[in-house]
């Protein structure tokens, strides 16, 4: 079986899920967000029902409907990636089937969390999803949330042996590991995306194809410009953008994602709404830091 094609570069916004006061999904708000980031801002891709979209607190029916709704709203203007991972392989297969039926372009598959599988167990998890559903997979490595790191050898093996595996959202926060993966796969076309926003510039310099960037809710155009500068060979210009946005990138992670991001989106006059428990509002100290940073950089 031949490797599935995948060539998306740039900034993929992992969209928040707006909620109403009663914590139901705000579909009118979701429509407005899609039009803003796809039509007005011009992001390169949308990721729906990821960590930033509060997927852990969406019901399966909500998860399926949000993916379908966003895919229809985007209407083939840019690629749509749907979070479809789980710590249960059978559940991940079911979510992936639903996402494919909704018409997404690829799925984001998180490393199985809590169960603490071996590297072979992790490899087989993604293999079984691929065997069940023929759609591009972007592997999501975020050991800070899952308690399991997908080691470079496992990632390279997945890329070379599983046709559906086309990319990686790298949120390991380990530049040495990132360089190991990129050094062994970038020339072969493996699409590595930064998932640790403060390291996007570094990963771009080592061959990444962009970022699945929560900070894209605020600084999408700036991160796009940084990507373009690296690809054009203007490393000084890219570095200058990196340092210019670094304060707001830090501020947007002053508390666990997506708490600060949702607050920033609300201040920008866009639909966001409350967070679903156990997440709660940004603290008053966090608000002071985030607002001051956004105002100083001209984002408010």
What pLDDT does 218 receive?
98
Does the residue 259 lie in any domain? no
Residue 296 predicted with pLDDT over 70: yes
Q: Backbone dihedral region of 114: left (phi > 0), alpha (psi from -120 to 50 degrees) or beta?
A: left
Residue 288 domain-assigned (yes or no) = no
Mean pLDDT of all residues in 6-24: 98
Segments forming the whole domain that contains residue 126: 10-232
| pLDDT tens by residue, 139-175 | 999 999 999 999 999 999 999 999 999 999 999 999 9
> What proportion of the chain, given as a percentage, has pLDDT over 90?
98
- The rounded mean pLDDT for the chain is 97
In a domain, 257, yes or no: no
Is 256 within the bounds of a domain?
no
83-133 confidence digits (pLDDT tens) = 999 999 999 999 999 999 999 999 999 999 999 999 999 999 999 999 999
Residue 214 has pLDDT above 80, yes or no: yes
pLDDT for 186: 86
Structural domain contains residue 180: yes
pLDDT digits (tens, 9 = 90+) for 237-291: 999 999 999 999 999 999 999 999 999 999 999 999 999 999 999 999 999 999 9
DSSP letter for each residue of the chain: -PPPP----EEEEE----B-TTS-B-HHHHHHHHIIIIIII--SEEEESSTTTTGGGS-HHHHHHHHHHHHHHHTTSS-EEEE---SSHHHHHHHHHHHHHHT-SEEEEEPP-SS---HHHHHHHHHHHHHH--S-EEEEE-HHHHS----HHHHHHHHHH-TTEEEEEE-S--HHHHHHHHHHHGGGT-EEEE-SGGGHHHHHHTT--EEE-TTHHHHHHHHHHHHHHHHTT-HHHHHHHHHHHHHHHHHTTSSSTTHHHHHHHHHTTS---PPPTT--PPPHHHHHHHHHHHHHHT--
Question: How many domains does the chain divide into?
Answer: 1
Q: What is the CATH number of the domain that holds 190?
A: 3.20.20.70
Give pLDDT, residue 2.
83
Q: What is the pLDDT of residue 1?
A: 65
Active site residues per annotation = 140, 169
**Residue pLDDT, tens place only, 30-64:** 999 999 999 999 999 999 999 999 999 999 999 99
What is this structure's pTM?
0.97
Does residue 24 lie in a domain region?
Answer: yes
Does residue 238 form part of some domain?
no
For residue 68, being part of any structural domain is answered with yes
pLDDT at 19 > cutoff 90: yes
């Amino acid at each position: 079986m031949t490797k599935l094609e995948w060539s998306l570069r740039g900034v993929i916004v992992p969209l928040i899920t707006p909620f109403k006061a009663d914590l139901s999904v705000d579909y009118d708000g979701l429509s407005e967000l899609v039009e803003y980031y796809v039509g007005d801002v011009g992001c390169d891709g949308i990721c729906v029902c990821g960590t930033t979209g509060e997927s852990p607190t969406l019901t399966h029916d909500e998860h399926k409907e949000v993916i379908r709704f966003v895919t229809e709203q985007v209407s083939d203007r840019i690629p749509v990636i749907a979070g479809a991972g789980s710590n249960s392989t059978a559940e991940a297969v079911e979510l992936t089937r639903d996402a494919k039926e909704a018409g997404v372009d690829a799925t984001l598959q998180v490393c199985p969390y809590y169960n603490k599988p071996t590297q072979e167990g992790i490899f087989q998890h993604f293999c079984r999803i691929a065997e069940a559903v023929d759609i591009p997979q972007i592997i999501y490595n975020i050991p800070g949330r899952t308690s399991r790191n997908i080691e470079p050898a496992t990632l390279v093996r997945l890329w070379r042996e599983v046709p559906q595996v086309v990319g990686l959202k790298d949120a390991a926060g380990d530049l040495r590991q990132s360089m190991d993966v990129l050094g062994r796969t970038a020339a072969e076309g493996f699409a590595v995306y930064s998932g640790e926003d403060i390291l996007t510039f570094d990963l771009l310099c080592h061959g990444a194809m962009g970022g699945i960037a929560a900070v894209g809710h605020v600084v999408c155009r700036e991160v796009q410009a940084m990507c373009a500068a690296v690809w054009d060979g203007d490393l000084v210009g890219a570095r200058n953008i990196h340092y210019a946005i670094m304060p707001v990138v830090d501020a947007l992670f002053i508390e666990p994602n997506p708490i600060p991001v949702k607050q920033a989106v609300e201040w920008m006059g866009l639909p966001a709404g409350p967070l679903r428990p156990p997440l709660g509002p940004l603290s008053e100290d966090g608000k002071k830091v985030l607002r001051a940073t956004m105002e100083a950089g001209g984002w408010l």
